[in-house]
Amino acid sequence: MTPVKHIVFDVGQVLIHYDPDVAFRSVIPDAAERKWFFDNVCTHAWNIEQDRGRKWADAEALLIADFPDREHQIRAFRQNWHQMITHSIDDSVVIMRQLIADGHDVTMLTNFASDTLREAWQRFPFLTESRGVTISGDIGLIKPDKAIYDHHVATFGVDPAATLFIDDSAKNVAGAQAAGWQSVQFIDPQTLRADLNRLGIRV
């Protein structure tokens, strides 16, 4: 295996915790109705298109046309977005900062809407401490499409075979591997530390 020269972090569920349910407990108090709403209205498939670059106003208009009686709740998704990021995953942040301090080449690659990531930067400045970040919403590409990994390689000049990608999604891990990268699935900071040590990266 090629020694790791570049380390690429995902953001959501690796460095910061994301939970839409938290932001909707006051909007839709009933848990069963809240689940129905996320399964049928503001779904993952709908939200991922904002990560691909669709504007929130366009996304809201699409749903409101189909669910006019849910307009307030649909608009609450973006309005309450800040509540969905409940906390940083501090031990992961410690690992990332140690890697940077030790001279490793650290970047980020994330599925994130352009505006909400910049909002997250204001709350969590450590998200700006790596050499740079590929933001899906800025370039119209999302993981696990091979094109987004290739875009990151071209933008940051990394060697795919010598690049380690860290992501909580098995699908995105597989996408990185299909693009010729090394990759590990993030389970928790302790597992990540063990994975890095196994690859000869001491943290």
pLDDT of amino acid 101: 98
pLDDT tens for each residue of 27-78: 999 999 999 999 999 999 999 999 999 999 999 999 999 999 999 999 999 9
Pairing verdict, β 6-9 and 163-167: parallel
Mean of the per-residue pLDDT values for the chain?
Answer: 98
pLDDT of 128 strictly over 90: yes
Average pLDDT in the 114-124 region? 98
pLDDT of amino acid 68: 98
For 142, residues 6+ apart whose C-beta sits below 8 A from its C-beta are 48, 51, 52, 111, 136, 148
The reported pTM is: 0.97
Q: Residue 98, SS3?
A: helix
